[in-house]
Chains A and B, each alone.
Chain A
Amino acid sequence: MSITTGLPFAPAAAPELADVLPPRKRRGRVAMFVYRHPTIAAGGLLLTIIVAIAIFAPMLGTMDPTALAPARRTRAPNAQYWFGTDMLGRDVYSRVLYGARVSLIVGFSVAFCSAIAGMFIGLVSGFVRWMDAVVMRIMDGVMSIPSILLAIALMALTRGSVQNVVIAITVAEVPRVSRLVRGVVLSLREQPYVEAAVASGTRAPKIILKHILPNTLAPLTVQATFICASAMITEAILSFIGAGTPPIIPSWGNIMAEGRALWQVKPYIVFFPAVFLSVTVLAVNLLGDGLRDALDPRLAKRI
C-alpha cells in the first residue's frame, strides 16, 4: 500500500505503510469469522449439530423410542444399544436423540414467545406514561416469584403437555424481557433524533416502528438467547420432578427422571441425557456470550 499525497513532489522519506506494519495475512471469510468471533462460531457449530441430530433422529440408527421390550431391560451400553436400555427395555440412544426435539422446541419457542410478549409490554410501558407504573408494578410482582416455582405452580394447574410447559416458562420469563425493552425505550426517547422526529410531527406508531424498535433488537436477541438456554434447563427440571412434559414423550428431563430410581446401579441412563442437555445449553450460552460481545460492545466490556 502506498500513500498518494496528491502533491507534485513526493514528501521526503515517507515510510511505506507496508514497512511499518507486517502484511496482513489473508484469511478466507469463514476463517476470518471464526477468528473474530470464536464463541459464536463454536456455539453455532455445536447448536447446528444438535439441531441436525433432532431433525434427522429417525435416520441415525434409532428405533422407536417408546417401544417396550421387557426382555432386554437395563442392558449396559453395548454395540447394539449404544447408550444401553432403560428399565422398560427402551433404547436410551433413540430416546436421547428424539429427546433433543423437545428441548429445542421448548427452548426456541419460549425464547421467541417471551421476546415478542416482552417487547410488546416493554414498548407500551416505555411509551405510554400512565400505564408504566401499573405495568411495572405487576412485572415486579411476577418477577419476585422465583421462576421455577412460578412455572411449577402454573404446571400444577394444567395437564402436562409441551405447549403448557412453553406457556408456563414464558410467563416466568416475560417480566425480565419487558423490563429490558422498557429500559432501552426510556433511554432512546431522550435521544435527540427521536426528539427531532417528534418535533417534525412524526406519529407515534411510526416513531416506535422506525426509530425505537430496531434499536431494541440487538439487546433483545442477546436476551432471547439466554432465555432459550434457561428455558431448556427449566423444561428438564420440570420434567425431572414430574411437572413437565408428559412421561410418554421422551425428553431429556423425563429420561433422567425415569433413570433416577436406578442411578446408583445404572448411572448411564441418567448420564447420556445429562451430557446432551449440558452440551446443548453450553452451545446456546456460548452463542449468547458471543452475540453480546458482537452486538453490544458496551455491555461486553462490563460483564
Chain B
Amino acid sequence: MYAYAARRILSTIPVMAVVALFVFSLLYIAPGDPAAIIAGDQATPADVDRIRASLGLDRPFIVRFGEWVWHILNGDLGQSIFTNLPVSHMIAQRIEPTLSLMVLTLILSIAIAVPAGVLAAWKHGTWIDRLVMIMAVAGFSVPVFVVGYLLAYTFALQLDVLPVQGYTPIADGIGPWLRHLVLPAVTLGSAFIALIARITRATMLEVLNQDYVRTAKSKGVDQRSILFVHALKNAAVPIVTVIGLGVAGLIGGAVVTESVFAIPGVGRLVVDAILRRDYPVIQGVVLLFSFVYVLVNLGVDLLYTVFDPRIRY
C-alpha cells in the first residue's frame, strides 16, 4: 500500500515536468522581444543586446528552463508585464472567489448528481430514469455561459431573488457569500452534474444486478440501505474517477462562469491577461490549474483503497 502510494506520487513527477516544459515553451516562443520592449524606440541594437544580456535572455533554452523551474519551486512565478506585480501575488489576491466557486460547485454537483443517478438506476426504464437521462444529455449540450445567462435572467432579473452579478468575500458573512455564489455554482455544475449522474446510473445498474444485492433484498434489507450502503459503496470507484477527471472541465468552466457573473477570480485574471497579452500571468495560471488537476487525480487514485478495500497494490 505505502509502496504503491509512493510509486503513484513519484509517477506525477514526469507528468508535471511535461506540463512545466510545455508552459515554459509558451513564454519562450511568445511573440515580442521583452528586451526590445524595455529598451524602447530610441535604443540601438547594441543597447537591446545589452539589456537582453542583463536579463539573461541570451542564454540557451535549457539553462533558462532550469532557472525558471528553480524559481517556481521557490514560489516565484515571475512578474506581470502589465502591472509589474509578482504573478504569485496577483493569483493569491484572486484565489478566494475561484476556490469558493469550485468547492461549492463540487459539493452541489455531487449532492444533486449522485442521488439522481442512483434514483435513475433504481427506477430503471421508468419515466424518472428517462427524465434524468434527458437532463443529463441537455446538461452536456447547453454551454456553460448559456446556462449562466438563462439562470441569471430567470432568478435575478425576472424573479429578483438572487443577485445578478458580483462576489462578496466569505469574511463578510456566509449568507451574502452564498447568495452570490448559488447561481454561478449551478451554472458551472450543469455539465458536471450531467457527467456524474450518467456514470452513477451506469455503474449502479451494473452493481444492482450482482448476486449480493439480490441476497440483501431476499433477506429483507430495506431498500435505502441496499441502494446507498451495499450498492453505492461498490459503485464508488468509477464515480470518484469521473469526478476527478471532470475537475478539468470545472476549471475551464470557471473561467467562463467568472466572466458571466463578474466574479473577480483567477479565471477573470486569465481572461484579462489574454486581452493584454500578459504572458507571465497566463503562464502562471495555466501552471497552477494544471498542478491542481494533477494533484486532485493523484488524491483520487490514493482514495481507491478507501472505497474498495479489495484493491491492494
User: A and B: partners?
Assistant: yes
* Residues of chain B from 219 to 239 with CB closer than 8 A to chain A in the complex: none
Q: Binary interface profile of A, 129-167, with partner B (CB < 8 Å = 1, else 0)? A: 000000001101110111111101111110000000000
A48 CB–B CB distance under 8 Å: no
* Residues of chain A from 285 to 303 with CB closer than 8 A to chain B in the complex: 285-286, 289, 302-303
* Residues of chain B from 1 to 58 with CB closer than 8 A to chain A in the complex: 14-19, 21-23, 26, 29-31
Residue of A at shortest CB range from B156?
A: A264
CB-based contact B19/A282 at 8 Å? no
B206 CB–A CB distance under 8 Å: yes
Selected contact of B286 from candidates A153, A277, A281, A289, CB within 8 Å? A153
A145 to B286, CA, bound (A): 7
Q: What residues on A are CB-neighbors of B26 within 8 Å?
A: 153-154, 157
Q: What residues on A are CB-neighbors of B146 within 8 Å?
A: 274, 277-278
Q: What residues on B are CB-neighbors of A289 within 8 Å?
A: 137
Question: Among B142, B146, B274, B277, which residue has the most Cβ atoms of chain A within 10 A?
Answer: B146
A246 to B226, CA, bound (A): 55
B290 CB–A CB distance under 8 Å: yes
Residue of B at shortest CB range from A274?
A: B146
CB-based contact A140/B255 at 8 Å? no
Which segment, of B75-83, B104-112, B246-254, B301-309, faces chain A?
B246-254
* Residues of chain A from 266 to 286 with CB closer than 8 A to chain B in the complex: 267, 270-271, 274, 277-278, 281-282, 285-286
CB-based contact A149/B255 at 8 Å? yes
CB-based contact A270/B270 at 8 Å? no
CB-based contact A146/B293 at 8 Å? yes
A237 CB–B CB distance under 8 Å: yes
B289 CB–A CB distance under 8 Å: yes
B294 CB–A CB distance under 8 Å: yes
CB-based contact A152/B140 at 8 Å? no
CB-based contact B199/A145 at 8 Å? no
A140 to B297, CA, bound (A): 12
Q: What residues on A are CB-neighbors of B289 within 8 Å?
A: 145-146, 149
Q: Whole-angstrom distance from the CB of A201 to the nearest CB of chain B?
A: 38
CB-based contact B18/A142 at 8 Å? yes
A229 to B191, CA, bound (A): 13
B282 CB–A CB distance under 8 Å: yes
A293 to B69, CA, bound (A): 47
A38 CB–B CB distance under 8 Å: no
CB-based contact A233/B290 at 8 Å? no
Q: What residues on A are CB-neighbors of B251 within 8 Å?
A: 146, 148-149
Selected contact of B206 from candidates A138, A147, A240, A302, CB within 8 Å? A302
CB-based contact A267/B143 at 8 Å? no
Q: Whole-angstrom distance from the CB of B91 to the nearest CB of chain A?
A: 14
B285 CB–A CB distance under 8 Å: yes
Q: What residues on B are CB-neighbors of A153 within 8 Å?
A: 23, 26, 282-283, 286
A300 to B58, CA, bound (A): 56
Do most interface residues of chain A lie in helix, strand or loop, or is the interface mixed?
helix
B180 CB–A CB distance under 8 Å: no
Q: What residues on A are CB-neighbors of B150 within 8 Å?
A: 274
Q: What residues on B are CB-neighbors of A34 within 8 Å?
A: none
Give the size category of A's interface with B. Answer: 35 or more
Q: What residues on B are CB-neighbors of A183 within 8 Å?
A: none
Residue of B at shortest CB range from A157?
A: B30
CB-based contact B14/A137 at 8 Å? yes
A242 CB–B CB distance under 8 Å: yes
CB-based contact A237/B143 at 8 Å? yes
Q: What residues on B are CB-neighbors of A152 within 8 Å?
A: 255, 270, 274, 282, 286
CB-based contact A146/B249 at 8 Å? yes
A110 CB–B CB distance under 8 Å: no
CB-based contact B14/A264 at 8 Å? no
Residue of A at shortest CB range from B287?
A: A145
CB-based contact B290/A145 at 8 Å? yes
Q: What residues on B are CB-neighbors of A278 within 8 Å?
A: 141-143, 146
Q: What residues on A are CB-neighbors of B149 within 8 Å?
A: 263, 267, 270-271, 274
A147 to B249, CA, bound (A): 8
Question: Among A144, A241, A277, which residue has the most Cβ atoms of chain B within 10 A?
Answer: A144
Residue of A at shortest CB range from B245?
A: A143
CB-based contact A156/B279 at 8 Å? yes
A96 CB–B CB distance under 8 Å: no
Q: Whole-angstrom distance from the CB of A231 to the nearest CB of chain B?
A: 12
A40 CB–B CB distance under 8 Å: no
B185 CB–A CB distance under 8 Å: no
CB-based contact B18/A140 at 8 Å? yes
CB-based contact B153/A267 at 8 Å? yes
A153 to B273, CA, bound (A): 10
Task: List 30 contacting pairs A-B, 8 Å CB cutoff, sorted by A.
Answer: A137-B18, A141-B15, A141-B17, A141-B21, A142-B22, A145-B22, A145-B286, A146-B293, A147-B248, A148-B251, A149-B255, A149-B285, A149-B289, A152-B270, A153-B23, A155-B274, A156-B279, A236-B143, A237-B144, A237-B145, A241-B256, A271-B149, A277-B143, A278-B146, A281-B140, A281-B141, A281-B142, A281-B143, A282-B138, A282-B141
Q: Which 7 A-B pairs have the closest CB atoms?
A: A141-B18, A148-B252, A282-B141, A274-B146, A146-B248, A146-B251, A281-B141
Interface residue ranges, B against A (CB under 8 Å): 14-19, 21-23, 26, 29-31, 137-138, 140-146, 149-150, 153, 157, 164, 198-199, 202, 206, 248-249, 251-253, 255-256, 259, 270-271, 273-275, 277, 279, 282-283, 285-286, 289-290, 293-294, 297
